[in-house]
Structure 1
Amino acid sequence: MTNATTVLEFRLLGFSSNPHCQILLFTAFLVIYIVTILGNIIIISVITLDPRLHSPMYKFLKNLSFLELCYTTTIVPKMLANLLAKRKSISFSGCMTQLYYFISLGATECYLLAVMAYDRYLAVCEPLHYGVAMTAETYTLLAVGSWVTGVFTGFLPCLMVSRLHFCSYNFIDHFFCDISPLLKLSCSDTTVTEAVIFILSLLVLSGCFVLTLVSYLLIILSILKIPSASGKRITFSTCSSHLMVVTIYYGTMISMYVRPTYNLSSELNKAISVLYTVVTPLLNPVIYSLRNKAFKKALEKVVVRYHRLHCL
């Protein structure tokens, strides 16, 4: 520990050092980010403007879209700036802030996805009791509970990482302040920190994933009992697309954080991280909304209304 110093900033190595490759990555990520922001804003606006979409299912979707806006904005703008900057740096406080919001919002997304799966389970498997089970008070409790629990989930890992000692070498082999590269960079004994983060990740990620998976499996079993082939096909198509996106998100997150040691190669680490920080914020709300007929009709009406107002 004699070589430990007070680190005021970290240097993010990011992706390739090739300028042409960085410009290509900047363009691709910028397009995805813009589409993600616009797509989620449209979803929030349509649900807000159409009174018929004020049911718990769409309110949960509105929460998810707002969360994805915050989640992707925590990572992508700084990543885009560093792709063009000569000095790719982030302050120590900025790094810890980014880490906290990344963990908190990621945990909140897990809770929301589990709650949304439970809502769909009630709607499909218990339709007669849905109105009684999923009241406005129940929705509020589940939504607020997801956000509050997510906020508190990020405190302990971020606190433990921030109290580690970092030596004079301050280059993070990643495009944002993630747990794994920070633990590798520290010259402290990270055994306790790794164990706590592993247990917390196991509880949050695996717990939420199991609840979500069980809900969708029960939905699929209920769908198989539908006598109408067309009704069975439509319902199964919608649920399967939801399950696909959820599996991608949880699969990448679990592979990254539910491990006793953080020994993935840096390039594989970055590639997996792109999936849950850049791709899923675009896919999640889009697939949840565009596979829904009621939302598509509401979107068409909003577009027609907007067109008429600007043509007058």
Structure 2
Amino acid sequence: MIPENQTSSTVFILLGLFSSSNISQVFSFLFIIFILTVTENVLLILLICRDTSLHSPMYFLLSHLSFMDILHVSNIFPQMIINFLSGTRTISFAGCRFQIFLYVILLGGECLLAAMSYDHYMAICHPLHYAMLMSDSVNMLLVMRSWMMGTLNFIVHTAYVLHFPFCEPRVLNHYFYEVPALLKLSCADMSHYEQGVDVSTLIFMLILFSMISVSYIKILHTVLQTKSSQAWKKSFSTCSFHMVVVIMYYGPFILHT
């Protein structure tokens, strides 16, 4: 491959879904998923904002998780739509930087999941002190920390990945711009950086997953000491949705490793 250091004028070619023979059907299906995802999350946020009975810490955190979900899909699909309608497969370096900006920052969603598990723990294990322990200031602090973790993650990645030289041809066998796919195009030795990313990601995920697991172990311990079937049902209804989301977030990571 031919090295190229002028990243400011770099244009990448995204193969991704365009290598599929039935691209129209695949695109139509994904476009429907995109519309449904954005619509349901927008409606959920509007419902939480308008319904005063939903002005609680759990739904406040859920609204931010829904907003992150909107940004996730909006970070990928608009570029796919542009490429499909124009018949091109290219993405500028500026577009790459914007995609990695959102993609990495939105990894703070894992922090929100940990914050939601902490909220459930307080609601079930310390109901009498819940209002004080989960005040508006505490909720805002949890959300701000989630966004700050994503921002810090982005700064670290930007300082390294976006300043590496890239080689010709700049062809990504992917449908959006992310760090693992980009590393394959670098002319520099990326082995130490890749090892550092793998270790830091594993530690980050394990810490958050451990926090969530400990919260649910304590919740289970509290529920098992309760003889009321109504308390069982209330606890299950409170935690079931969050458990599904946690499985969706961490399931692919566990299977991949």
Structure 1 position 148, deviation (Å): 2.0
Q: TM-score by structure 1 length?
A: 0.75
The whole-number CA distance in structure 1 between the counterparts of 2:29 and 2:48 is 29
**Unaligned stretches of 5+ residues in structure 1:** 260-312
* Count of paired positions: 254
Conserved 8 A contact 2:15-2:174: yes
Conserved 8 A contact 2:124-2:235: no
Relative to 1, partners in 2 of residues 1:155 and 1:64: Cα closer, same or farther, differing over 3 Å? same
Structure 1 position 74, deviation (Å): 1.0
The whole-number CA distance in structure 2 between the counterparts of 1:255 and 1:189 is 28
Relative to 1, partners in 2 of residues 1:127 and 1:234: Cα closer, same or farther, differing over 3 Å? closer
Deviations 1:108-150 (A, max 9, x none): 1011111011011100111112122111211111111211222
Q: Which residue of 1 aligns with 2:195?
A: 195
The whole-number CA distance in structure 1 between the counterparts of 2:204 and 2:102 is 16
User: 2:70 aligns to what SS in structure 1?
Assistant: helix
**Unaligned stretches of 5+ residues in structure 2:** none
Q: Which residue of 1 aligns with 2:130?
A: 130
Conserved 8 A contact 2:120-2:238: no
Structure 1 position 84, deviation (Å): 4.4
Structure 1 position 36, deviation (Å): 1.0
Q: Which residue of 2 aligns with 1:4?
A: 3
Calculate the aligned-residue CA RMSD, in Å.
2.1
The whole-number CA distance in structure 2 between the counterparts of 1:17 and 1:141 is 45
The whole-number CA distance in structure 2 between the counterparts of 1:112 and 1:218 is 19
Q: Which residue of 2 aligns with 1:49?
A: 50
What is the identity, as a one-letter code, of the residue corresponding to 1:129?
H
Q: TM-score by structure 2 length?
A: 0.90
Answering whether residue 114 of structure 2 is matched by residue 114 of structure 1, we say yes
Q: Which region of structure 1 is more displaced relative to structure 2, 22-31 or 208-217?
A: 208-217
What is the identity, as a one-letter code, of the residue corresponding to 1:116?
M
What is the identity, as a one-letter code, of the residue corresponding to 1:201?
T
1:1-312 to 2 correspondences below 5 Å: 3-5=2-4, 6-7=6-7, 8-15=10-17, 17-19=19-21, 21-106=22-107, 108-236=108-236, 238-253=238-253
The whole-number CA distance in structure 2 between the counterparts of 1:22 and 1:217 is 46
Conserved 8 A contact 1:10-1:90: yes
Deviations 1:243-293 (A, max 9, x none): 13212212324555xx6xxxxxxxxxxxxxxxxxxxxxxxxxxxxxxxxxx
Structure 1 position 171, deviation (Å): 0.5
